[in-house]
Amino acid sequence: MNKIDTDFLPTLVAHIVAHARAHGDKAPSERELAEHFAVSRGQVRESLSILESMQIIERRAKSGIYLKPDVAGLDSMALFARAGVPLLPRQIFEAVELRKIHEIKAAELAALRATDDNHSRLRDILDQSAAQLAKGEGLFRLDGAFHLEIVRATQNEMFFKMCQSFYAAAEQRHAVYFRKPERSAKSHSEHLQIFDALIARDAILAQALMNSHLGGAQSYWTELLDEQKAANPLIPPVG
């Protein structure tokens, strides 16, 4: 029973969100949370202080804990994803847009700066992807790995960490996306093209290829969100 379980935070978030939805943004009290999860109040307070630092909740002295309605940070998004809390369409749109901005530039920089090590890591991922496709399985994790490896090749650690959060937050959605086999195949062939551009150190081409590669994904999400909006104009207020 060492330390607090690493997935206690997501569980806590899920619980708080569920409760807050039904009680006007108000979360259960610290004492209630402690009892519910069978831990001490101290443990709960530690976790809550993290959530507060992420701007997910607000603690009003002597009043209660309130779920903030406008979560937009990178880390908090990833946490919500792990907690299984759906994001607002607006948040997905913003995240997809940001991801595109980042990765297009990453492709350019990667073409210029990638080391042999970066190249071989990318090649490995592509090989695994090919094998996966041959077995009739979707890409999913390998897709994310490929994209992140490109960001790593920019040699900018901060860049890499930021993009990691994007993928952490989008994991579930990507899993859904890659359920259709033809998407995996298309993605893979585009990855191969991008890889060639990186090897050739053609920054312009790499950038352009990444642009169209991600453009497909972006329009996919845009259309999906439009459909959802049309089908259900009442958007649930999701932190």
Partner DNA sequence: TGGGTTTATCTGGTCTAACCAGATAGCGCG
Partner DNA sequence: CGCGCTATCTGGTTAGACCAGATAAACCCA
Q: Which is nearer to DNA, 29 or 172 (CB)?
A: 29
Distance CA 147, CA 198 (A): 12
Q: Which is nearer to DNA, 3 or 135 (CB)?
A: 3
Applying CB under 7 A, which part among 25-33, 109-117, 197-205, 224-232 lies near DNA?
25-33
Q: Under the criterion CB under 7 A, does residue 29 sit at the interface with DNA?
A: yes
Given its phi and psi angles, is residue 3 left (phi above 0), alpha (psi -120 to 50 degrees) or beta?
left
Binding residue (CB under 7 A) for DNA from 22, 38, 230, 231: 38
Q: Which is nearer to a copy of itself, 95 or 125 (CB)?
A: 95
Q: Which amino acid is at 164?
A: Q
Q: How far is the CB of 1 from DNA (least distance, A)?
A: 5
Binding residue (CB under 7 A) for DNA from 15, 18, 21, 32: 32
CB 68 within 8 A of CB 58: yes
Report what 65 binds from a copy of itself, DNA, none; CB cut-off 5-8 Å by kind.
DNA
Report what 230 binds from a copy of itself, DNA, none; CB cut-off 5-8 Å by kind.
none
- Please report, for residues 51, 79, 92, 153, the alpha-carbon distance to residue 36 in angstroms, rounded to integers and kept in the order given: 18, 20, 31, 45
Q: Which is nearer to a copy of itself, 78 or 142 (CB)?
A: 78
Structure tokens at 21: 């939805």
Report what 54 binds from DNA, a copy of itself, none; CB cut-off 5-8 Å by kind.
a copy of itself
For 53, residues 6+ apart whose C-beta sits below 8 A from its C-beta are: none
Q: How far is the CB of 38 from a copy of itself (least distance, A)?
A: 19
CB 67 within 8 A of CB 25: yes
The Cβ of residue 172 has, within 10 Å, a number of other Cβ atoms equal to 13
Give the H or E element holding residue 117. helix 116-134
Which parts of this chain interact with DNA (CB under 7 A)?
1-4, 27, 29-32, 38-43, 45, 59-65
